[in-house]
Amino acid sequence: MNKGRKFQDILKEEQPVVYQMMYNSLRNRKVSHAYLFSGPRGTHKKDTAILLAQSLICENGEVFACEECNTCRRIRENTYGDLIYVDGREATVKTEVVEDIMERFDMTGMEEANRKVFIIDGAEHMIDNAQSKLLKFIEDPMNSSVTSIFLSENPERILPTIISRCQRIPFSPLSEEAVCRECEEEGMDPLDSYLLAYIYKDKETVLAMKEKKDYLKVKTLFIDFMEALKKDKNQALVEVETALLTSKKKDKKTIKLFADMVSLFFSDLLKNKTGNDAWYNQTLDFFKKTNYNNYNSLNACLIAQSRLAPKERNSAPLVLEQMIYQL
């Protein structure tokens, strides 16, 4: 979460529909016993689930939780006794995990508020038997003090009977501008945040990518390529060939990443758009004043991008070679 800002303010700005649905439910005290937050990765589903848990328990907030008290902090840090968070995004959620939730929440609450919340992130990764057991648990009227929150990128893989008992809240993909802004607020370099936000469109992926050697290598090559392109087109193409096509590691992802960066640059150029980095904007200004064929360059990059898509089986080095010669 961004430091210095309450998450409810970020939610209102970046997921206004979700914010309004949550606000209305909490203000009118019509909170569901089960929620399904569905949407792409990086859309604040987990942060929203934490905010909902805080708002159900915090005594210092108004409609939403204060997000600052000891209870809110413990919920955010997953040290609150009556909160269970299960991360099923990378691994199957087995029956034993669900049975543990049921066993713990069948007992008297550990905290004074006696309000229990469990969050299953990646709920689509629960095996069928685990989902069936969980269905019986959330249907039991004895568990009225329990709020279930399921987070999913693929809700169609969750049992329809579970979905029918949940209030569904859909999350929209964040704009590239929002991802870029959030990454900069995390202290990320402006050029890194701009390039990665527009390529990956997901804060979690962007933050994970920023220190990876392959990315740093491609970013350096992109900068060198654009600088060389200002002076000598042929030399610029030689630099790319030397760096990527003669390398032992001619993997498709690295080559596509370079094509993505060049494509973003020429797309911004044709749209008369600016980035958030001084060098990037100066380079855009330089090409605006030249007679370089920016449209053909972007078209060459877009063709390369489509041919480098994961499902395509084209030779990545050959696609790159064709792209740079068309440039």
Q: Are residues 39 and 140 in the same domain?
A: yes
Mean pLDDT (whole number) for 32-57: 95
Q: Are residues 220 and 152 in the same domain?
A: no
CATH number at residue 83: 3.40.50.300
Q: Are residues 314 and 217 in the same domain?
A: yes
Question: How many Å apart are CA 229 and CA 314, to the nearest integer?
Answer: 27
Secondary structure percentages of the chain, helix, strand, coil, to 5: 60, 10, 30
Q: Are residues 283 and 144 in the same domain?
A: no
Tell me if 118 is assigned to some domain.
yes
Tell me if 283 is assigned to some domain.
yes
Q: Are residues 248 and 101 in the same domain?
A: no
Q: Are residues 166 and 18 in the same domain?
A: yes
Tell me if 180 is assigned to some domain.
no
Using the predicted structure, report yes or no on whether residue 119 has a pLDDT greater than 90: yes
Using the predicted structure, report yes or no on whether residue 3 has a pLDDT greater than 60: no
Q: Are residues 89 and 159 in the same domain?
A: yes
Q: Are residues 22 and 95 in the same domain?
A: yes
Q: Are residues 255 and 152 in the same domain?
A: no
Tell me if 204 is assigned to some domain.
no
Q: How many structural domains compose the chain?
A: 2
Six-digit token pair at 8? 């409810």
Q: Are residues 120 and 248 in the same domain?
A: no
Helix (H) or strand (E) holding 168: strand 167-170
Which of 110, 142, 170 is the last residue in one of the domains? 170
Tell me if 187 is assigned to some domain.
no
Mean pLDDT (whole number) for 59-81: 95
Using the predicted structure, report yes or no on whether residue 308 has a pLDDT greater than 70: yes
* pLDDT score for 316: 83
CB of 171 within 8 A of CB of 56? no
Which of 115, 146, 170 is the last residue in one of the domains? 170
Q: Are residues 21 and 117 in the same domain?
A: yes
* DSSP codes, 223-289: HHHHHHHHH-HHHHHHHHIIIIISSS---HHHHHHHHHHHHHHHHHHHHT---S-HHHHHHHHHHHT
Tell me if 181 is assigned to some domain.
no
Comparison of pLDDT for 42 and 11, the residue scoring more: 11
Tell me if 44 is assigned to some domain.
yes
CA distances, 140 to each of 95, 99, 106, 214 (Å): 18, 15, 11, 51
Question: How many Å apart are CA 309 and CA 316, to the nearest integer?
Answer: 10
Band the pLDDT of 150: cuts 50, 70, 90: very high
Domain with 233 in it: 212-326
State the pTM of this model: 0.80
Which of 137, 170, 203 is the last residue in one of the domains? 170
Q: Are residues 149 and 257 in the same domain?
A: no
Using the predicted structure, report yes or no on whether residue 44 has a pLDDT greater than 90: yes
Band the pLDDT of 16: cuts 50, 70, 90: very high
Question: How many Å apart are CA 154 and CA 32, to the nearest integer?
Answer: 21
Using the predicted structure, report yes or no on whether residue 232 has a pLDDT greater than 90: no
Tell me if 2 is assigned to some domain.
no
